[in-house]
């Protein structure tokens, strides 16, 4: 290998895993998730942001659901417990900076997923003792239109981290839209927190 962490080996860009940087020391590297864990029990229990026909990211920043589908899991139809991204949403909001090949593959892999609302409602709020024992670095993806930067920073404010880094030129799928920058970021974090 012999390369400095600032120059990732191109052969290591695909398939990089947490074992590369976290073999003996734990550091969570957080790229924008669908929803960060919250310490606010009321917000966690209502999950109102998931029930809305549009995703509200504050300050009038609405992300149109386009062709996404939300379906109730219970017989009464009260909870939108399952979710499936639509092909338009994938192309315009998640993978907008990715290659056409990556977009085509993503569309071919669309599956229904659970929102785990029932699990979130039954779970105890995150605490420093239960959640804060691992160092956390949040990586802001500057061109993420699904979770705009202002909302990412709100998530960080609600769930403090040890450090915030930025990747310019990365959409929501940073590992595909800016893989070299993601690898460099992971290697830099691994070096700093070893």
Domains and their CATH numbers in the chain: 10-192 (3.40.50.1820)
How many C-beta atoms surround the C-beta of residue 161 within 10 A?
19
Give the pLDDT confidence score for residue 89 in this predicted structure.
Answer: 93
Q: Give the chain's radius of gyration (CA, Å).
A: 18
Give the pLDDT confidence score for residue 86 in this predicted structure.
Answer: 92
Q: Which residues contact 128 (CB under 8 A, 6 or more apart)?
A: none
Phi, psi dihedrals of residue 70, rounded to the nearest 5°? -115, 135
> For residues 65 and 93, what is the distance between their CA atoms, to the nearest angstrom?
9
User: Residue 1 pLDDT more than 60?
Assistant: no
Three-class SS state of 69:
strand
> For residues 157 and 159, what is the distance between their CA atoms, to the nearest angstrom?
5
Over the stretch 127-153, which tens digit does the pLDDT of each residue have?
777 777 788 999 999 999 999 888 899
> Residue 155: which of 43, 63, 35, 62 has the closest Cα?
35
Contact (CB, 8 A) for 169 and 181 = yes
Any idea which residue has 């417990």 for tokens?
A: 81
Over the stretch 75-131, which tens digit does the pLDDT of each residue have?
776 666 788 899 999 999 999 999 999 999 999 999 988 877 777 778 787 777 777
What are the Cα distances from residue 41, in Å, to 21, 52, 121, 166?
Answer: 33, 19, 8, 29
User: Residue 165 pLDDT more than 50?
Assistant: yes
Contact (CB, 8 A) for 167 and 140 = yes
Specify the pTM. Answer: 0.66
Q: Report CA dihedral (48, 138, 177, 111) to the nearest 10 degrees.
A: -40
């Amino acid at each position: 290998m012999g390369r400095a962490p600032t120059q990732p080996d191109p052969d290591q860009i695909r398939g990089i895993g947490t074992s590369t940087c976290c073999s003996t020391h734990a550091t969570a590297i957080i790229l924008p998730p669908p929803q960060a864990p919250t310490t606010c029990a009321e917000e966690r229990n209502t999950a109102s942001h998931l029930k809305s026909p549009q995703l509200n990211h504050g300050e009038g920043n609405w992300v149109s659901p386009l062709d996404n589908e939300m379906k109730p899991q219970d017989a009464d139809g009260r909870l939108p417990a399952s979710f499936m991204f639509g092909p338009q949403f994938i192309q315009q909001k998640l993978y907008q900076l990715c290659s056409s090949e990556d977009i085509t593959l993503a569309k071919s892999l669309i599956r229904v997923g659970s929102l785990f609302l029932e699990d979130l409602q039954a779970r105890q709020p995150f605490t420093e003792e239960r959640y804060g024992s691992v160092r956390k670095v949040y990586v802001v993806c500057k061109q993420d239109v699904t979770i705009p930067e202002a909302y990412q920073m709100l998530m960080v404010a609600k769930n403090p981290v040890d450090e915030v880094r930025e990747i310019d030129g990365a959409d929501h799928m940073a590992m595909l839209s800016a893989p070299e920058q993601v690898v460099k970021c992971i290697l830099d974090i691994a070096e700093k927190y070893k």
